[in-house]
């Protein structure tokens, strides 16, 4: 807990002192003022987060954290839990959707086992930060102990800090864990106060009967475990997941280093909720990549007042949406740093209205 508290203390409010100069530069680029809309807003946001007038976006990293969930035994997913380690092997072979999109945007992928229910074969691209062999079934009791919840967050922080030594200009987060939309729905309901019916979707594509069962199980878990919405660690321990805790730690560690963190979909959003409850200032360091097809994700984004960059009906996870979001953020910085000004391009600026009025 000491390490978590140290990181929280380092997350300060964003310094807006460079905003005026950044706005002046944006207004002097060869375009009508404000004509690049959210790209200009993003550039301004990046300057504020990093404290750098011309922030680099060279070292791009996507963190994928994996873990299993005891509640998966209740049939809340269309896939068996064996898919979790199988997909992690796929990540390491470079064959998953996130690998394709990470290569597309020039990001390196970092994969970590936070709590897969089996031991994976050693691999140079796999980080082992296993808290336990999957969570317990939250429909029968707490998903984990409070100590395990703290450990999952601090393990996530350690993963980020180790990778930060290699250089990170921007980070994205993603997940892998069969059944993990179930704890994400529970976390969302617990913290936002929204009903489970509104926060729960089809996950991997389950039918109506399975959705009804999933909703009933989440309601049972919340009623049984009584997660305290004023205590993010309690929520995580009662109805969360090890990979969700790890993602929470990555968000906190990134903010402590003034690294912009691009949030993927629903599971990443649940981690963002927890992070903001632990350290409210962290919200200013987060960029929402997209709005997931999972209906609970929109509730998270509205609660955090985060406006997504994209809405492509994505629901894969893995950090795929984050990869696409990073590409848009990079485009905004290229506009800021590479586009010519009116003066440098010898282009006439907008005529002064007063001169126009008195012109003969």
Positions marked catalytic: 318
Tokens of 10: 């380092």
Environment class of 60 (CB within 10 Å of its CB; exposed 0-12, middle 13-18, buried 19+): buried
DSSP H helices, 260-339, are 266-278, 295-304, 320-338
- Contacts of residue 269, defined as CB under 8 A and 6 or more positions apart, other chains included, come to 184, 188, 263, 288, 292, 296, 297, 300, 301
Compute the distance between CA of residue 7 and CA of residue 17 in angstroms, rounded to an integer: 24
Give me the half-sphere count of Cα atoms (radius 13 Å) on the Cβ side of residue 332: 24
Q: Which helix (H) or strand (E) holds 83?
A: helix 83-93
Nearest to 221 by CA among 295, 142, 146, 149: 142
Compute the distance between CA of residue 112 and CA of residue 94 in angstroms, rounded to an integer: 15
Compute the distance between CA of residue 170 and CA of residue 329 in angstroms, rounded to an integer: 9
Nearest to 61 by CA among 197, 169, 206: 169
Compute the distance between CA of residue 162 and CA of residue 150 in angstroms, rounded to an integer: 18
Compute the distance between CA of residue 159 and CA of residue 129 in angstroms, rounded to an integer: 8
Compute the distance between CA of residue 39 and CA of residue 42 in angstroms, rounded to an integer: 5
Q: Token match 């873990």: residue?
A: 67
Sign of CA dihedral 330, 246, 157, 129: negative
CB 207 within 8 Å of CB 123 = no
């Amino acid at each position: 807990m000491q390490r978590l508290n140290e990181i929280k203390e380092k997350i300060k409010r964003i310094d807006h002192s460079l905003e005026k100069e950044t706005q002046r530069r944006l207004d002097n680029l060869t375009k009508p003022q404000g004509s690049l809309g959210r790209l200009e807003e993003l550039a301004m946001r990046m300057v504020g987060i990093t404290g750098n007038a011309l922030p680099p976006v060279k070292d791009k990293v996507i963190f994928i954290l994996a873990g299993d969930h005891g509640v998966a035994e209740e049939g809340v997913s269309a896939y068996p839990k064996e898919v979790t380690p199988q997909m992690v092997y796929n990540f390491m072979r470079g064959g998953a959707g996130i690998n394709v999109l990470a290569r597309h945007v020039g990001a390196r992928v970092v994969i970590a086992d936070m709590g897969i229910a089996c031991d994976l074969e050693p691999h140079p691209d796999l980080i082992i930060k296993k808290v336990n062999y999957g969570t317990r079934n939250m429909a029968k009791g707490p998903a984990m102990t409070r100590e395990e919840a703290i450990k999952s967050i601090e393990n996530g922080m350690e993963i980020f800090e180790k990778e930060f030594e290699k250089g990170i200009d921007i980070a994205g987060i993603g997940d892998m864990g069969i059944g993990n939309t179930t704890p994400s729905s529970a976390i969302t309901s617990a913290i936002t106060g929204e009903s489970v019916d509104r926060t729960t979707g089809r996950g991997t594509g389950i039918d109506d009967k399975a959705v009804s069962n999933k909703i009933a199980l989440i309601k049972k878990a919340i009623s049984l475990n009584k997660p305290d919405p004023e205590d993010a660690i309690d929520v995580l321990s009662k109805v969360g997941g090890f990979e969700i805790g790890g993602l929470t730690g990555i968000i906190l560690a990134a903010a402590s280093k003034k690294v912009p963190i691009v949030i993927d979909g629903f599971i990443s959003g649940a981690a963002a909720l927890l992070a903001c409850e632990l350290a409210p200032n962290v919200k200013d360091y987060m960029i929402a990549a997209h709005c997931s097809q999972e209906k609970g994700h929109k509730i998270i984004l509205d609660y955090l007042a985060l406006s997504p960059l994209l809405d492509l009906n994505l629901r894969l996870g893995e950090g795929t949406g984050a990869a696409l979001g990073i590409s848009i953020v990079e485009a905004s910085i290229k506009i800021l740093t590479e586009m010519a000004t009116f003066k440098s391009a010898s282009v006439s600026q907008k005529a002064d209205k007063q001169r126009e009025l008195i012109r003969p």
